[in-house]
Structure 1
Amino acid sequence: MSGIDLNEKAGAAPTATGLDDAKAASPAFSPNTNEEVTPEGDTSGVVNIDGADMLNRVHSYARRFICYPSETASVVHVLWMAHAHLMDAWFSTPRLAVLSAEPGSGKSRVLEITALLVPNPAFSVNSSAAYILRKVADQDNRPTILLDEIDTVFGPQGKGDEGLRGMINAGYRKGAKSGRCYTEKGKVLTEELPTYSAIALGGLGTLPSTITGRSVIMRMRRRGQAEKVEPFTPRLHEPLANTLRDELVAWTASVFSLAEAFQPVLPDGISDRNAEVWGPLLTVAELAGGEWPAVARRAATEAVQSAKANNKPSLGVRLLAHIRACFGDKDRLTTADLLEKLLADEEAPWGDLGRKKLDARILADMLDEYDIHPTNMRISKGPTLRGYKREAFQDAWERLLPPFETGATRATGATDQESLDKTEASNAADETALLPCSGSAGGVA
């Protein structure tokens, strides 16, 4: 996998510590024999599978039929499929979002290959929230939900489905339940249905921010003329997928107790929600061993940086950034002066907010969400006017905006928007060098 340089800092960081501790803490692991044992202590039935070699073969198989946009995306996909076999070991499960700007970019093929390698796949298009909820509620036969054409629900032309969005969000964590009412013999009764399940979604455009914040994202694109993949023929290619899936089942069963106890050390910059998203995937890589821990850490760093670079700030954050640029080095601005500066930028949205332009009332309402309020003030020796003091914005600026570049005091939104766009790094994953779209490259490294 030459597309990812294992010697770079992010990939060469020390691998997660604690694997030996996890083995010692696991009641199903014998420190004396270095083998996993059954509850009765019999080691004769232990399946010995090289996890790294197995993931290499899964990776090579998927690459035969999928033209990944980057090596990071291929690593994410393999780790996500493996993590779906260890659902009871996790506290949270990342959603896999397979998105593209244009149709014909390979999203459905990703989900088709995924369905062959994950446990109990439920592949559907335009399914209702009630259907998905009932499928997931059977936790003894917990499905892996694969939803294609999700843009028909959450895209610009979709009507949305708050029930489905809520279930996808809630089922991100183990133990979450959704309350429902039903009628029996004329009585209205209540029930709580489990929602915990691995979910992959494919579609055009973007997803609601509450879903993307819980997702690892693969941004697919159409193949170039020089990029080739094999045509997928189920009759010919499913038998090998079945063999690989059976190996995944056996391997994940052999490391399940370790997965429960193991806590990976995360790369710098991956914390909070990102730590929850990437924790299971990095754990799979550590348990597999070989080159996978280093490759996974690099993929995690690139994917998180890419997501941050692609995240569009909310309208409120854009307003705060533009106001900071308007203030420059001033300590106060009247409402009239602030509005004049904001509306002077023709590329900013303030001149057309739902067919209304920004005025004093709308400005006050938007800033009220951040506990920022206008006050009476006097500029120089003039009359008392309504306006805003710099100190009122300071807390919101520090929490929500990147540091302001030294000397950048131009009264336009462009300067602060440039700073805002540089949240952590550029879209590193999209710039990763592409390899031929085939499975001929042996292994991961």
Structure 2
Amino acid sequence: MDKVISLSHQAQTTKQSDDVIIKELAALKPLEYDRVRAEKAKEMKVQLKTLDAQVTAYRESKQEAKRLPFDEIEPCQEPISPANLLDEISTAIQQFIVLDDEQAHAAALWVAHSWFIDVLEISPLAIINAPEKVCGKTQLLKVLGRMAYRPLPAANASPSALFRAVDLWKPTILIDEADTFFKDNAELHGMVNAGHSRDGFVLRSEAIGDSYEPKAFPVFSAKAIAGIALEKHLPDATMSRGIVFNLRRKLPHESVGRLRHADKGLFSGIAAKLARFADDYSQQVREARPVLPDELSDRNQDNWDGLLAVASCAGDEWLKKATAAALKISGDCEKSHSISNELLADIQDIFEAKRVSFIGTIDRAYPVVTDSHYR
């Protein structure tokens, strides 16, 4: 076993060394590269044509990156501690947003899960909900976006542009003001709901010559949605696919930092560590089978599975934090649904007892039933 670990570490070190050399060679001018390519190929123990292909591919990827609507993040050089990194993300979020610890832990795990999108089967929506204005919903969306994998704001984007972007880039889509333009956009609902699982796709017609052919566009990616009173504006099918962050206005004794005054390099430094986290732990996350709380519904267990898999890389303490967050955030949702179902069942009993299909507001033969009876 020790020999296998040693060989694995050696291979990883060699890959990192090769990547550094290729990056340096790609930055050279053509004449400079020609002078050193033979020596470098010999040093790396590869054929000249192999080295040329790698350097060309790197240069082309950098040119493509210049055309991307987000920055491509280089992984940090030093190995990271997953537990320390998740602590750092939680602290950064609470520096700018009023959130309790469980919500901050969930937000940190959601950000981290976006970097493991290639190895997860489910990507829960981050549903950032506020009862009114000035609760920090847009601020939280921005904070998450500054650390998430390939953040792509969806303001003014058409559904067709978004599902093509997902097909091409696998970005983290950030949707603000979901209580306005999003709520009446059935096509966008369909894309967001289908993108909850890896096998999700939308079927569209594509022009091929003089005819049209159906094409399935994969829409699986990380997505965050922010808005006011989203439980009133989004269908249950969308709400059930998310982890809901219920925000509030800060109290007089509470204070948060201004995002525009954030330390230079704070978020880019975290993103570089997240890129390294994904490089080093993707296989562990892929193979993780975390124990999911029985108190959660099947859908919420799906939503939290990937986040707990990420937490498992950070040790037992973070697994406890993740489980506590899941129970507090999504367990409460289960209780709320149960109360609503009880209320509806009692209303149905009243209608059946009276043998009517309508009860007027002036008919007080039975007491008015409200959800306060179940609080």
TM range (shorter): 0.7 to 0.9
Superposed counterparts of 1:187-336, under 5 Å: 187-206=211-230, 207-233=234-260, 237-289=263-315, 291-311=317-337, 319-324=344-349
Once the two structures are superposed, residues 237-273 of structure 1 have per-residue CA deviations (whole angstroms, 9 ceiling, x without a partner) of: 3412101110111012211101111111012312411
Aligned equivalents of 1:87, 1:132: Cα separation in 2: 17
Call closer, same or farther: CA 1:311–1:347 in 2, change over 3 Å: farther
2:185 alignment partner, one of 161, 165, 176: 161
Superposed counterparts of 1:380-395, under 5 Å: none
Superposed counterparts of 1:8-407, under 5 Å: 37=8, 41-42=11-12, 48-68=79-99, 70-138=100-168, 141-155=169-183, 160-206=184-230, 207-233=234-260, 237-289=263-315, 291-311=317-337, 319-324=344-349, 337-339=354-356, 343=359
SS at match of 2:301: helix
Call closer, same or farther: CA 1:189–1:226 in 2, change over 3 Å: same
Aligned equivalents of 2:164, 2:203: Cα separation in 1: 12
Structure 2: gaps spanning 5 or more residues: 17-77
Contact 2:182 2:188 in 1 (8 A): no
Call closer, same or farther: CA 1:181–1:45 in 2, change over 3 Å: closer
Call closer, same or farther: CA 1:266–1:183 in 2, change over 3 Å: same
Q: CA deviation at 1:288?
A: 1.2
Q: CA deviation at 1:202?
A: 0.5
Aligned equivalents of 1:215, 1:118: Cα separation in 2: 17
Aligned residues: 311
Q: CA deviation at 1:186?
A: 2.3
Q: Which has the higher contact order (CA 8 A, sep 6+)?
A: 1
Q: CA RMSD in A?
A: 3.0
The answer for the alignment partner of 1:435 in structure 2 is: none
Aligned equivalents of 1:205, 1:312: Cα separation in 2: 20
Contact 1:126 1:147 in 2 (8 A): no
Contact 2:135 2:250 in 1 (8 A): yes
Letter in 2 for 1:135: A
Aligned equivalents of 1:35, 1:232: Cα separation in 2: 44
Q: CA deviation at 1:302?
A: 0.7
Contact 1:101 1:205 in 2 (8 A): yes
Aligned equivalents of 2:308, 2:218: Cα separation in 1: 26
Letter in 2 for 1:239: G
Aligned equivalents of 1:74, 1:347: Cα separation in 2: 48
Q: CA deviation at 1:323?
A: 2.6
Q: What is the TM-score normalised by the length of structure 2?
A: 0.74
Once the two structures are superposed, residues 252-299 of structure 1 have per-residue CA deviations (whole angstroms, 9 ceiling, x without a partner) of: 221110111111101231241111001011111111125211111111
Structure 1: gaps spanning 5 or more residues: 1-29, 328-332, 349-409, 423-445
Q: Percent identity?
A: 24
The answer for the alignment partner of 1:414 in structure 2 is: 369
Q: What is the TM-score normalised by the length of structure 1?
A: 0.63
